[in-house]
Chains A and B, each alone.
Chain A
Amino acid sequence: MAIEKQDVAAIARLSALSVGEEEAGQVAGKLNHILDVLETMQSVETDQVEPMSHPLDQVQRLREDRVTETDQRERYQRIAPAAEKGLYLVPQVIEQV
């Protein structure tokens, strides 16, 4: 499977990234290189191997259901590019419904 320019465009849209026409070609090339590596890995015999979601043979540690965080909004919003009325402001991302 090879990645074409239009696949790059689709992924870019899903990620809300702006990737130019020229750049899309380069990105496609890089992604295809990664896929080649995976292709090689695919050839390894894995029928007898149980799929593993995590490399560590450990289980999740749990937290008590107790409030440990305090309101730090002032400090956090000081470093935000834009904030008003307690809300973080971002460029409008969707078309009006």
Chain B
Amino acid sequence: MQDWEVVIGLEIHAQLTTHTKIFSGSPIAYGAEPNSQANLLDLGMPGQLPVLNKAVIPKAIRFGLAVGANIGRRSVFDRKNYFYPDLPKGYQTSQFTYPIVEDGGSLDIEVDGQTRRIGITRAHLEEDAGKSIHDAFPGMTGVDLNRAGTPLLEIVSEPDMRSAQEAVAYARKMHELVQFLDICDGNMQEGSFRVDSNVSIHKPGTPFGTRAELKNINSFRFIEQAIEFEIERQIEIVESGGEVIQETRLYDPERNETRSMREKEEANDYRYFPCPDLLPVVIEQTDIDQEARAMPELPDAKRVRYQENWGLSQEDAQMLTASRAMADYFETLVDLTGEAKKAANWVMGDLSKALNQDGLTIDRSPVSAKMLAGLMARVDDGTISGKMAKQVFAAMWAGEGHADDVIEAKGLKQITDEGAIGEMVDRVLAEHPDQVAAYQAGQEKMLGFFVGQVMKASKGQANPAQVNAVLKARLAQA
């Protein structure tokens, strides 16, 4: 890309997991009937006063501590004024001059084996707006205010990213972090985690170029594509003597292009001022200490521990920490079985496959970690073979009960009795004299045939390792 340097900063809106709105007692369940969760305050009716939801503060503190930022000990809500029908008050309550999470934070990302530290400028609390429906009513706009007042943490990065890959790596890492911190459910389809990208280009050593903002893209793949397209577009403009204008652009994944969202509303002037309806939020050191004590182990630390203590590969450690629920499940399984590698194989193998097939997340798995541990124990003590275990797992998945119930019901107990196996082996060898002769003439691959016959005779219940051993011994004697 010649000698243009790309400069990207991200603004991420993470919806905080609460039961009610940030300033009112309305519920915030997703997908409810339009306006059924909008009370007088959410509608912007005069005379209503906001009261801050207690639950958002510890979540913001936890985030600030996790990224190593300074916590705003006295943060102030401001009014960000703009006109739009899904914002009936005429202003968004946000934080401007004194945010709850101040400077000093950062997040390390890895791209192509290189670690880079991305600065976090700040993070502040604010309310979400409602939704406008533009195309359903001729000449009119429909407004649904259920989402109005949903608590958001807006996380603003420094313009530290230099490629679309870095931007996506940062967004993914942040997505993972907020879920591990249990402050946001990370559901991008439902808009719980939204990424706005500020993209500009310049020649190194010269001031930053004018940026364009790419808004509300709801998948990591599209974020990467949108930024790639935007970089190309800006380079083309500048190289043909034009000028990039500051504007908001929408990404159209079907055409893989960005388009101007609206004619630039002249220099957005939000006329911020402190909200007189809300007093400053004061955070005591004890509040911060409490969150520090409750801080969960973060994904980077988990990955190191999985590799160093449990001998897992980097790829496995990465996969097993894909979500906090996944890591919790895996760790419970290891605690119960003491077998990290086998546990990893089950979680990434049959369990993940079944989850994918049924479109479930691991916290909804019909087979709990405890149930899976029960199954692994039966393989471990030789009751069933690895192959039978897969069958038992499928039955457990289908709701047929615990491992022991399924083994009992299906009569799946593995035959490990040397005498019984010996009898079956003798019978098979007696029935196939030609194949025995062939084996003894040097066709050693016949062994597989005998194993198959014995397994068949045992209805798959003989221990295959023992069958192998007994067969080899008998054939050597014969």
Contact = CB atoms under 8 A, between A and B. Distances in A.
Contacts of B266: 10, 13
A20 interface: no
A87 B144 contact: yes
B120 to A, nearest CB: 24
B26 interface: yes
Contact of A84 (B24, B39, B142, B261): B142
B143 A90 contact: yes
Interface string B25-53: 11100000111111110010000000111
Interface stretch (B168-176, B177-185, B271-279): B271-279
B25 A76 contact: no
A41 interface: no
A53 interface: yes
Interface string B270-306: 0000101011111000000000000000000000000
B140 A65 contact: no
B321 to A, nearest CB: 29
Given A14-B265, A14-B269, A77 B141 contact: no
B279 A58 contact: yes
Given A14-B265, A53-B274, A69-B20, 15 more contacts: A10-B266, A61-B279, A62-B53, A63-B51, A65-B20, A67-B19, A86-B36, A87-B34, A87-B136, A87-B144, A88-B143, A89-B141, A90-B85, A93-B141, A97-B250
A71 B36 CA distance: 5
A85 to B, nearest CB: 7
Interface size for chain A: under 10, 10 to 19, 20 to 34, or 35 or more residues?
A: 35 or more
Nearest to A89: B140
A76 B38 CA distance: 10
Contacts of B25: 63, 66-69
Interface stretch (B76-84, B229-237, B338-346, B383-391): B76-84
A90 B90 CA distance: 14
A82 B134 CA distance: 15
Contacts of A82: 140
Given A90-B141, A92-B139, A67 B20 contact: yes
A81 B250 CA distance: 32
A43 interface: no
Contact of B83 (A16, A72, A87, A96): A16
Contacts of B136: 85, 87
21 contacts: A10-B266, A14-B81, A14-B265, A14-B269, A16-B83, A54-B280, A62-B54, A63-B51, A65-B19, A66-B25, A67-B19, A69-B37, A72-B39, A73-B36, A87-B35, A88-B145, A92-B134, A93-B84, A93-B85, A96-B134, A97-B261
Contacts of B39: 69, 72
Contacts of B53: 62-63, 65
A33 B136 CA distance: 46
A74 B174 CA distance: 40
A87 B133 contact: yes
User: What DSSP secondary structure best describes chain B's contact surface?
Assistant: loop
Interface string B70-103: 0000001000011111000010000001100000
Contact of B24 (A53, A60, A69, A90): A69
Interface of B: 18-20, 24-27, 33-40, 43, 51-55, 57, 76, 81-85, 90, 97-98, 133-134, 136-137, 139-145, 250, 261-263, 265-266, 269, 274, 276, 278-282
B243 to A, nearest CB: 22
Contact of B280 (A53, A65, A68, A77): A53
A96 B53 CA distance: 37
Contact of A65 (B18, B35, B36, B38): B18
Contacts of B43: 76
A91 B55 contact: no
Contacts of A91: 139-141
A1 interface: no
Contacts of B280: 53-54, 59-60
A60 to B, nearest CB: 4
Given A65-B18, A66-B19, A88-B142, A54 B34 contact: no
Nearest to A59: B282
Nearest to A11: B269
Contacts of B276: 54
Nearest to A87: B142
A95 interface: yes
A69 B138 CA distance: 33
A86 B31 CA distance: 13
The 6 A-B pairs of least Cβ separation, nearest first, read: A68-B25, A87-B142, A65-B55, A86-B34, A53-B274, A62-B54
A16 B53 CA distance: 31
A53 B76 contact: yes
Contacts of B262: 94-95, 97
A1 to B, nearest CB: 15
Contacts of A47: none
B282 A60 contact: yes
A62 to B, nearest CB: 4
Contacts of B144: 86-87
Interface in A1-39: 10, 13-16
